[in-house]
Amino acid sequence: MKNKIIVFILSALALLALPLLAQYFGQGWVRIMALALLYVMLALGLNIVVGYAGLLDLGYVAFYALGAYMYALLASPHLSTNFPWFAQMFPNGLHTPVWAIVPLAAGLAALAGIVLGMPVLKLRGDYLAIVTLGFGEIIRVFMNNLEQPINLTNGPRGIDSIDSMSMFGFSFGKAIEIGGYRISSVVLYYYLFLALVVLSVIICQHLETSRIGRAWMAIREDEIAAKAMGINTRNMKLLAFGMGATFGGVSGAMFAAFQGFVSPESFSLQESVLIVAMVVLGGMGHIPGVILGAVLLAALPEVLRYVAGPLHQITGGRLDASILRQLLVALAMIGIMLARPRGLWPAREHGRAAPAPVR
């Protein structure tokens, strides 16, 4: 037990110190780490739907997009520049505080999740997959085309000059100095995302062992049996969809604040596939596994993008960094699954006898 605490404290310190060390090698590295944390959050959210409840969702990125666009619209000059009546109402542009946007983004995403879930929950696994995939595409088409007749999303050009995150009068967009030591904005975001990831892990952990989590897993293992045990499978599935979508919406809002720019390109089907791959590669339904999968798929190829510069010259431009990254992700998805079909760090095998009840 004591060992565990020491390991815990050490890893916490390492996670806190990591960006401070990394920023000496360039801001790019810290950025990669912050984005990896964002992916961890997304993967944890999808894990609720895919890992716990066993519902294959291939359109998860739609909720991420909803959150991001919600933040972008409510915290950028976009609406005021396009609608004169709006500009009259908010002459300085709309700068909604974070405390309003994030719950709104989460709520919108959750609502979308439940609305999508309602008609499709009757469907069996693979039918559900294609419908969610279609939903993701629908959202993307809307993002791409909703500049006419009213310019809501600015089409493929996306929305820019989005406010950075700020809470309690403290802005994450500017570097701060503590006793002559400069901490850049990217590092601040890293800490923000780290805190959110920790919060997500705590929420997921509690969900997993709660009545709800056990109901989800029962549905995953055998829906008919779960129903027979008195679980309201419809409500539980809707809850899983809504809960997963909430995570997506919050991550999306964070993404918009972090990037300062959103466009439909960031929310393609490939992104959905990548998040599903993170969950399955890491080990479905197992929090440490999912985190491992997310970090691996998000960060490793990015790191190689930096390392693989010379390769571009050697192969005469055919194998540049982004192609290499794709190649690696593809090979990782195939290789890891073939070597470990249950994921890198799977949950304990089900079906063993429950521990004897304490009397």
Partner 1 sequence: METFFQQIINGLVLGAMYALVALGYTMVYGIINLINFAHGEVLMVGALVSWTVVTMLAGAGMPGWSLMAISLVCAIVVCAALNFTIEKLAYRPLRNAPRLAPLITAMGMSLLLQTLAMIIWKPNPKPYPQLLPTEPINLGGPVISVTQCLILGVTAVVLASLMYLVNKTKLGRAMRATAENPRVAALMGVKPDMVISATFIIGAALAAIAGVMWAANYGTVGHMMGFLPGLKAFTAAVLGGIGNLGGAVVGGILLGLVEALGAGYLGPLTGGILGSQYADIFAFAALILVLTLRPSGLLGERVADRA
Least distance from C-beta 326 to partner 1, angstroms?
5
Closest approach of partner 1 to the CB of residue 38, in Å: 21
Structural Rg of the chain based on CA atoms: 21
Q: Dig out the tokens for 22 from the structure.
A: 């990394």
- Which residues does 325 contact at the CB level (< 8 Å), separation at least 6? 301, 302, 304, 305
The first and second tokens of residue 270, run together, are: 């490939």
SS3 303: helix
Nearer to partner 1, 180 or 341 (CB): 341
**What are the start-end ranges of the E strands in 258-297?**
none
At its nearest, how many Å lie between partner 1 and the CB of residue 44?
A: 17
Report the nearest approach of partner 1 to the CB of residue 40 (Å).
Answer: 18
Residue (25 or 265) nearer to partner 1, CB: 265
354 token code pair: 């429950």
Helix (H, G, I), strand (E, B) or coil at 341: coil
User: How many Cα atoms sit within 13 Å of 112 on the Cβ side?
Assistant: 27
Question: How far apart are CB 247 and partner 1 at their closest, in Å?
Answer: 19
Alpha carbon distance 267, 180 (integer Å): 40
Strands 181-183 and 176-178 come out as antiparallel
Residue among 19 and 343 whose Cβ is closer to partner 1: 343
Structure-token match 């799977």, residue found: 346
- Contact set with partner 1 (CB under 8 A): 50, 56, 119-120, 122-127, 129-131, 133-135, 137-138, 141-142, 144-145, 148-149, 222-224, 269-270, 273, 276-277, 280-281, 284, 318-319, 323, 326-327, 329-334, 337-338, 341-342
Q: What is the C-alpha separation between 188 and 31, in angstroms, rounded?
A: 11
Shortest distance in whole angstroms from residue 57 CB to partner 1:
12
Beta carbon nearer to partner 1, 145 or 205:
145
Phi and psi based region of residue 161 (left: phi greater than 0; alpha: psi -120 to 50; beta: remaining): left
Nearer to partner 1, 53 or 253 (CB): 53
Max distance between CA atoms of the chain, in angstroms, equals 72
Q: Which is nearer to partner 1, 213 or 285 (CB)?
A: 285
* Least CB distance to partner 1 at residue 224 (A): 6
Q: Which is nearer to partner 1, 130 or 203 (CB)?
A: 130
Residue 158 CA from chain centroid, whole number? 20
- What CA–CA distance (Å, rounded) separates 63 from 71? 12
Q: Which is closer to partner 1, CB of 137 or CB of 160?
A: 137
What count of Cα atoms within 13 Å lies in the side-chain half-sphere of residue 299? 19
Q: Residue 339 Cβ, how far from partner 1 at the closest point, in Å?
A: 10
What phi and psi, each to the nearest 5 degrees, are found at residue 182? -90, 125
Helix (H, G, I), strand (E, B) or coil at 133: helix
Signed CA dihedral, 297, 37, 200, 241: sign only: negative
Q: What's the min distance (Å) between Cβ of 120 and partner 1?
A: 7
* Lookup: tokens for 313: 């010259």
For partner 1, the closer of residues 305 and 342 by Cβ is 342
